[in-house]
Amino acid sequence: MPIVEHSTTVGGPIEDVFDLSQSYALRLEWDPFVRSQRPLGGAGEAGKGVHTETISRHRLRMVTEYLTFRRPTLVGMKMIEGPPIFENFSGSWRFAERDDGRVDVAFRYNFRCRPKFLAPVMERIGIWYLGRDIERRIESFRAACDETDLLARVRHERAEREVAPADRVPVPPIVDAAWLAERLADRLVDANTSGGHLAICDVRSTMSGAHPEADYLAKHLPDAVLVMLDDVLAAPPASIAGRHPLPDPTDFARSLGALGIGDDDLVVAYDDRGGAFASRLVWMLRTIGRRAALLDGGIDAWNGDIATGPTTPRPPTVTSPVDWPADAVADADRVVAHVEAGGVVVDSRDAARYAGEVEPIDAVAGHVPGAINLPFTHNLGPDGTFRPVSELDGRFAAAGVDGDAIVYCGSGVTACHNALAIEHAGLGRPTVYVGSWSGWSSDPDRPVATGPS
């Protein structure tokens, strides 16, 4: 997939630079590409972000979806509607403040053209055109950052901006212990109440059938509720559907309600395996538009109070069922079509299982033909926490991975770790093939590939 990127450095502070780049009104004054721009909504839809309609100076229309919004360092976008030559189009704006107060700004686009037989030519043209467009944008943006009038208006807009209600504040997919501690200290989030407050979830598991309750009782975060992978986050195993199919939406909502987790609650989930299991809950909730984040490093990274024994249950609540969005989950047929169209499919298991050298769980060893191998464990550094965003971005970009990719693993659990890492890197939210290898390999009509990536 072609990638076009450029960067520049401008004066700070980073809040002014960020807001200048994203203001609908002010962007019309400095961006040479934009003729008009307006928000279309979409934030209330399950699994969706804010939709924005942009009309270019050449009167080309594009509707983009902001899949990631980490203020004031990152904005990620993905095309929903646009010129027919693009099969897909995504990009990001990154902002990093230097020690001297100046701000590094990086623009990046990823795209794929159609029809397939013309794509190589169209993509070469696209690289040239978009490269020229980014260079012009950078020049204009750099000049705008020096205009005192524009910056004064940026600060005025920010001063007048109302503080968003708690249930509207975007939540990053991965948070650290300091982020959680800050919210635990905030009286707006009382872990012992429900209805728009904080719910901490312990999602430790062994995937071997052993009950994790003993580990939970021995040590857990204060007020954390135990969430069982097999009981809450999956339906019973089935051929084709795999070892951990998604639960029926009504069953999932009923399970959350029994745990005292409501529609508006902010969920922070952790485990003791670098997020291998907790990422499944976080991905499921984010997919249906709920606020959820993975605690980076899990229980081992938490340096606050630790509880033992049972926790006073949260009061049960009624949680609304939400259907799994069709664009968030894939079945085997969609995986095949994606590979045939030149899309990227990621196998999240370790290299030996991918190559078919070993298979400790499923009856058949190997991988989906056309899939590449990016083990989820490589998202983590030696200390068990996620690698810096720049490293994750480089890892996935080098493999052509963005929000259009499909990810899978053994049974649709650790694939969610890769899905969150891709979103955390600002590349959009990929689709998960929940049936994964356990579903694929149970179908005798599906081909099997072996060998290294």
* CATH number of the domain to which 415 belongs: 3.40.250.10
Give the CATH number of the domain where residue 119 resides.
3.30.530.20
User: Does 145 participate in catalysis according to the annotation?
Assistant: no
Residues 20 and 128 in one domain: yes
Local confidence band at 131 (pLDDT 50, 70, 90 cut-offs): confident
- Phi/psi for 225 (5° steps) reads -100, 145
Residues 52 and 117 in one domain: yes
Helix (H, G, I), strand (E, B) or coil at 424: helix
Local confidence band at 1 (pLDDT 50, 70, 90 cut-offs): low
Residues 187 and 239 in one domain: yes
Q: Tokens 């990046």 identify what position? A: 108
Residue 326's CB is within 10 A of a number of other CB atoms, namely 10
Whole-number percent of the chain with pLDDT over 90: 51
* Structure-block tokens of residue 401: 């991975």
Question: Among 113, 145, 201, 409, which one carries the catalytic annotation?
Answer: 409
DSSP annotation of 388 reads: P
Local confidence band at 49 (pLDDT 50, 70, 90 cut-offs): low
Q: pLDDT tens digit string along 200-214? A: 999 998 765 567 888
Query: Is 450 within a domain?
Result: no
Query: Is 447 within a domain?
Result: no
Q: pLDDT tens digit string along 360-393? A: 999 999 999 999 999 999 999 999 999 998 899 8
Report, as an integer, the average pLDDT of 100-112. Answer: 88
Going by C-alpha positions, the residue among 234, 237, 215 that lies closest to residue 362 is 237
Q: Residue 72 burial (CB < 10 Å; 0-12/13-18/19+)? A: middle
Residues 200 and 239 in one domain: yes
Q: Given a cut of 80, is residue 45 above it in pLDDT?
A: no
Residues 286 and 354 in one domain: no
Residues 232 and 106 in one domain: no
Helix (H, G, I), strand (E, B) or coil at 224: coil
Range of the domain at 276: 169-301
- Structurally, how many domains does the chain consist of? 3
Residues 155 and 186 in one domain: no
* Structure-block tokens of residue 235: 């339906």
Residues 58 and 94 in one domain: yes
Query: Is 79 within a domain?
Result: yes
Query: Is 282 within a domain?
Result: yes
Query: Is 315 within a domain?
Result: no
Residues 129 and 177 in one domain: no
